[in-house]
Amino acid sequence: MNRVIQLGASLVMAGVCSMVEAAPAAAHPAKDAFVTVKHTHFARKGQSYYIAGANFWYGGYLGAASGVGERARLLKELDNLKALGINNVRVLAVSEKTAMSSAVRPATTSAPGKYDESLLEGLDFLIAELGKRDMTIVLYLNNFWQWSGGMTQYMNWFEGTPALDPNVTGDYDAFMANSARFYRNAQAQEEFRNVIRAIVGRVNSVTGLAYRDDPTIMSWQLANEPRPGNQKVDDADKAVYVKWVGDTARFIHELDHNHLVSSGSEGLAGSAQDAKLYLAAHATPDIDYLTYHLWPKNWGWFDSKKPAETWDGALAKSRDYLNAHIELAKQLGKPIVLEEFGLDRDGPSFSIKATTKLRDRFYGEVFDLIERHAAAGDPVAGWNFWAWGGAGRAANANYWWKEGNDFVGDPPQEEQGLYSVFDSDVPSLLLIKAHADKLHALQR
């Protein structure tokens, strides 16, 4: 990686990626090529398997042959991620067309049962290219939040409730309550299962392999950050949510005997701060491992306008949050993946020119803590930072995405540059590479 220091900005990564050799995807995958759970750890190809991962929600979009697709960029992003030691990406599988203004366009599903084949072929292409690089993917099949349509859009289809964008109304509580009605709506559930059937059973147009038989896929994930509702949920709402997690996970396992299934939960922050609820939702044998997310700024622990005053408290709370979840994983005897964490750029600023000193410090603390637990044999299985912005760049002075602009790690519900790691963020790249290597070194 010394070459990374010598060279500048994006060229850096181009220099590194020339070292990456792509291998052809296996025609008949061996059984041990699938990621499995052995006691409280992942295993793959006869070894333990740690996730040094990135969130890359738009990977399938870049893979499309036309329209929003940018295959040359996608190949470069994957080469760069591979060169950083990233072995796993967490990606949006499907999106629902919606009137909500802060959602991505186009959507893979324009109406119930109507799929955009060219976008799904983009996902095929992404999976084929990941396979060549021996990387794995976690695919989420729905979204609690508005930026891909998600559960709120299902409610619009089947209950006719207006799809109100909380970025416009400012009412996130009402939005969450409406999103969570999805779990109770029989037609929405039927349609969601149709989507799951279509994706899990899909035959990849590039490799010819059915998704259910493809070891590049590590896990099916029920949704991005599913919650039982807002903070005011009652016991009945919680019970509905727990049942939905269990029933949906079982449904996927019945369709697919090869892959892991996970919830996509943030952990306690997405479980009304109720550890019993989180444990109940993840105790089912159909959920193979636990997930948790860490968002110190979003949760009001860190004020990036007052970093000196709020850093210590935010760090203490972050450590407590991580440790508490590792204890919960021990209780359930399952691996746990920190599949989202992030902090904004110094300033705070969305500009790619702003430094990322605080973010890097935060990432470093998170990586260190996970490595310590991993080295001690605790059930931690790794991390996915949020999120890879790569070569994407914000086009607009206010940093909001508009149709036709580059995709970056920040989805359209947030300013582009908020949490993205760009290919010019050299200190962040070096840090990620160093810690990915440390995690891989634990593989036995």
Residues lying near ligand IFL in the complex (CB under 6 A) are found at 145, 147, 224-225, 295, 298, 340, 386, 411, 414, 419
Distance from C-alpha of 190 to C-alpha of 151, rounded to nearest angstrom: 13
Minimum gap (Å) between residue 413 Cβ and ligand IFL: 6
Nearer to ligand IFL, 40 or 224 (CB): 224
The neighbouring-strand residues paired with 236 are: none
- Smallest gap, in angstroms, from Cβ of residue 443 to ligand IFL? 28
SS3 of residue 225 by DSSP: coil
β pairing state of 136-140 and 88-92: parallel
In the complex, least distance from residue 187 CB atom to ligand IFL, rounded to whole angstroms: 25
Query: What is the distance between the alpha carbons of residues 86 and 182, in angstroms, rounded to a whole number?
Result: 34
Residue 128 or 245 having the CB closest to ligand IFL? 245
Q: For residue 217, which of 122, 90, 118, 305 has the smallest C-alpha distance?
A: 90
Please identify, using beta-carbon distances, which residue of 118 and 298 lies nearer to ligand IFL: 298
Minimal distance, residue 167 CB to ligand IFL, in Å: 12
CA-to-CA dists, residue 426 to 14, 77, 328, 390, angstroms:
13, 15, 35, 11
Q: Which is nearer to ligand IFL, 148 or 207 (CB)?
A: 148
Query: Do the beta carbons of residue 226 and residue 153 sit within 8 Å?
Result: no
Least Å distance, CB 145 to ligand IFL, is 5
Name the residue nearer to ligand IFL (CB basis): 145 or 311.
145
Shortest distance in whole angstroms from residue 418 CB to ligand IFL? 7
Q: Pick the closer one to ligand IFL by CB: 11 or 172.
A: 172
Q: Closest CB to ligand IFL among 83 and 107?
A: 107
Provide the residue count of the chain: 444
Rg of the Cα trace of the chain? 20
User: How many Cα neighbours within 13 Å face the side chain of 420?
Assistant: 31
CB 337 within 8 A of CB 285: no
Closest alpha carbon to 390 in 353, 426, 343, 424: 424
For ligand IFL, the closer of residues 51 and 209 by Cβ is 51
DSSP 391: T
Task: Output the smallest distance, CB 419 to ligand IFL, in A.
Answer: 5
Whichever of 147 and 244 has its CB closer to ligand IFL, that residue is 147
State the minimum distance, in angstroms, from the CB of residue 266 to ligand IFL.
7
Quick one: which H or E segment has residue 319?
helix 307-332
Angstrom distances, CA of residue 351 to CA of 58, 194, 249, 292: 21, 41, 40, 28
Angle between helices 150-159 and 186-200 (to 10 degrees): 130
219 - beta bridge partners?
138, 260
Min separation Cβ 224 and ligand IFL, Å = 5
